[in-house]
Amino acid sequence: MSFFLENWILIAVAFSAGAMLVWPAVSAGARAGSLNAAQAVQLMNREKAVVVDVRDAADFAAGHVIGARNLPLAELEARLPGTVKNKATPVILVCGNGATSNRGAAIAKKLGYENAHSLTGGMGAWRAANLPVEKA
C-alpha cells in the first residue's frame, strides 16, 4: 500500500497514458456506421444507396453530391419515411463537416433504417476527394 501512496504521480501518469491509447478506439466506436468518400461511392454504385443531405436549402443549393435529396436535419424524422420508403435501402447522410450527419444517422437508425451511414468529413471530404458536385 505504501508503494501506491509514494508513487501516486507515476500511477496517474500511467493511467493517463493508457486512457490516451484507448481513446481512439472508443471514439471510433461512437461513429460506427460512418463512411469515407470512397466507401460512400462504392455503396452508391453497388447497392444503389440514397444520399440525403441534411444541410439547409441554401447550403444544399451551393453544392451537393450528385443525386442527393435535401432533407434538413430538423425535418429528417418527419420526411425520411416518405423519401426512402424501403428501410433496407442503404442511406448515406451528408452535411458540411460530418457532425450533423452523425446525428442524422442516429435519427435514421431510430426510425428503423439499420443501413444508415454518415459521410465522415461531410462535403468537405467529398470535395477534397475531387468527387463530382452539382449545384441547384
- What is the residue-level pLDDT of the chain in tens, covering all 136 positions? 788 788 889 888 888 988 888 776 665 544 556 899 999 999 999 999 999 999 999 999 999 999 999 999 999 999 999 999 999 999 999 999 888 999 999 999 999 999 999 999 999 999 999 999 998 7
Domain total in the chain? 2
Start-end of H helices in 31-95: 37-47, 57-62, 73-83
Which domain CATH number covers 116?
A: 3.40.250.10
* 10 plus 54 within the same structural domain: no
* 45 plus 23 within the same structural domain: no
Q: Which three cell numbers, joined as nine digits, stand for 98?
A: 460530418
* 107 plus 55 within the same structural domain: yes
* 106 plus 79 within the same structural domain: yes
Output the pTM of the full model. 0.76
* 17 plus 38 within the same structural domain: no
3-class state of residue 108 by DSSP: helix
Q: Does the annotation count 95 as an active-site position?
A: yes
Q: Which residues contact 18 (CB under 8 A, 6 or more apart)?
A: none
* 63 plus 110 within the same structural domain: yes
* 90 plus 53 within the same structural domain: yes
Catalytically annotated residue among 43, 71, 73, 95: 95
The parent domain of residue 1 ranges over 1-30
